[in-house]
């Protein structure tokens, strides 16, 4: 065989088709660079497998049938990849073959009807109410020092927990996205889909304190990004990794688990809303989920908590 799994998609028409698909994702569907990179990596895995499986680097996508794709799934499982990873790679292949079929490159879609592996249903990590109080206590102490870093950290925490944003959504926020008058923020989610999310009164207060420090950066002439909401002392947009480090350090300082991070605050936002009686469909819209099934895991988390309370409190539960 001339190739081995993992070599990547060969050059020529097969590679050109992948590049055209990626341009469609970037320009047509406006997916993020991170997502485009993920698609490229998954399709390179598929291409490398096909070169090995078909015994040649000179093949076309019309050489692929359902049995070949089943063999690809078997190869992924033998690599002991997580089910979530296998499902993601299959999803990338499905999207790609759907694109080729729609564009008239293939007479049929060989990925149609292929089932993804059953997912493990894992409850997302989140903070308790008391845990949230401890984290905010530490953040408010740091903000009381009236530094750019301290006031910025409190604002980050207020937005993540108060509005349930994703890391990428928070990172991309501009000053003009924050509407004080109606206490809401315009968020650009996955696929650049926009949604409007409420802001808490505490978030608006934190925003006012932070903007005083941010204005000092602008007056110093160091502002490299006048639009960005979150900036560094040099005036540049704060990076995603810097946001992650800040929240991870805050959680550790508050004595919360080392396995929690930025996304845990989004999970906490959704879980606490449902625990307080919020409607599942409303939480779905606030989170920007495309499917209700994605939101239902939080309802499962809430029901598990109630079962635990029942087992601990009811005299005949055991």
Q: Report pLDDT digits (tens) over 20-29.
A: 999 999 888 8
pLDDT of residue 200: 95
Return the closest-CA partner of residue 36 out of 267, 192, 241.
192
At CA 5, angle to CA 25 and CA 92, rounded to 5? 20
Question: 214 an active-site residue?
Answer: no
Pairing of strands 178-179, 184-188: antiparallel
Tokens in use for 56? Answer: 């040649």
Residue 121: is its pLDDT beyond 60? Answer: no
pLDDT of residue 307: 64
- Listed in order, strand segments (DSSP E) in the chain are 178-179, 184-188, 194-198
- 100-109 burial: b if 16+ Cβ within 10 Å, else e: bbeeebbeeb
pLDDT of residue 53: 86
pLDDT of residue 302: 62
Q: What is the pLDDT of residues 235-279, one digit of tens each?
A: 999 999 999 999 999 999 999 866 788 989 998 998 898 888 888
Question: 126 an active-site residue?
Answer: no
Q: Mean pLDDT throughout 100-110?
A: 91
Of 39, 161, 210, 298, which residue is the catalytic one? 298
Cα separation, 64 vs 61, whole angstroms:
6
Question: 190 an active-site residue?
Answer: yes
Residue 106: is its pLDDT beyond 70? Answer: yes
Of 88, 105, 166, 305, which residue is the catalytic one? 166
Of 88, 142, 190, 236, which residue is the catalytic one? 190
Share of the chain above pLDDT 90, in %: 47
Of 266, 267, 272, 284, which residue is the catalytic one? 266
Q: What is the pLDDT of residues 35-50, one digit of tens each?
A: 899 999 999 999 989 9
Of 98, 240, 289, 305, which residue is the catalytic one? 289
What is the C-alpha R_g of the chain?
24
């Amino acid at each position: 065989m001339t190739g081995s799994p993992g070599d990547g998609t060969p050059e020529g028409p097969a590679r050109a088709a992948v590049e055209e698909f990626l341009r469609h994702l970037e320009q047509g569907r406006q997916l993020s660079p991170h997502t485009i990179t993920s698609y490229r990596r998954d399709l390179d895995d598929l291409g490398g497998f096909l070169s090995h499986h078909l015994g040649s680097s000179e093949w076309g996508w019309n050489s692929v049938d359902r049995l070949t794709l089943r063999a690809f799934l078997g190869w992924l499982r033998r690599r002991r990849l997580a089910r979530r990873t296998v499902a993601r790679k299959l999803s990338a292949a499905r999207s790609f073959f759907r694109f080729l079929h729609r564009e008239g490159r293939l007479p049929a879609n060989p990925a149609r009807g292929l089932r993804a592996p059953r997912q493990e249903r894992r409850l997302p990590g989140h903070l308790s109410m008391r845990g949230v109080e401890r984290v905010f206590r530490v953040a408010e102490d740091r903000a009381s020092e009236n530094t750019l870093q301290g006031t910025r950290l409190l604002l980050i925490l207020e937005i993540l927990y108060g509005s349930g944003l994703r890391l990428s959504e928070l990172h991309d926020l501009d000053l003009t996205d924050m509407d004080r008058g109606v206490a809401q923020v315009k968020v650009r989610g996955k696929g650049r889909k926009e949604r409007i999310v409420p802001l808490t009164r505490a978030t608006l207060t934190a925003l006012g304190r932070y903007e005083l420090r941010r204005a000092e950066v602008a007056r110093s002439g160091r502002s490299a990004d006048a639009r960005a909401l979150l900036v560094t002392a040099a005036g540049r947009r704060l990076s995603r990794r810097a946001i992650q480090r800040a929240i991870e350090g805050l959680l550790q300082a508050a004595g919360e688990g080392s396995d929690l991070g930025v996304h845990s605050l989004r999970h906490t936002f959704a879980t606490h809303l449902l625990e307080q009686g919020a409607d599942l469909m409303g939480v779905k819209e606030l989170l920007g989920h495309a499917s209700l099934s994605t939101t239902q895991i939080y309802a499962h988390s809430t029901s598990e908590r109630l079962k635990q309370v029942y087992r601990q409190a009811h005299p005949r539960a055991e």
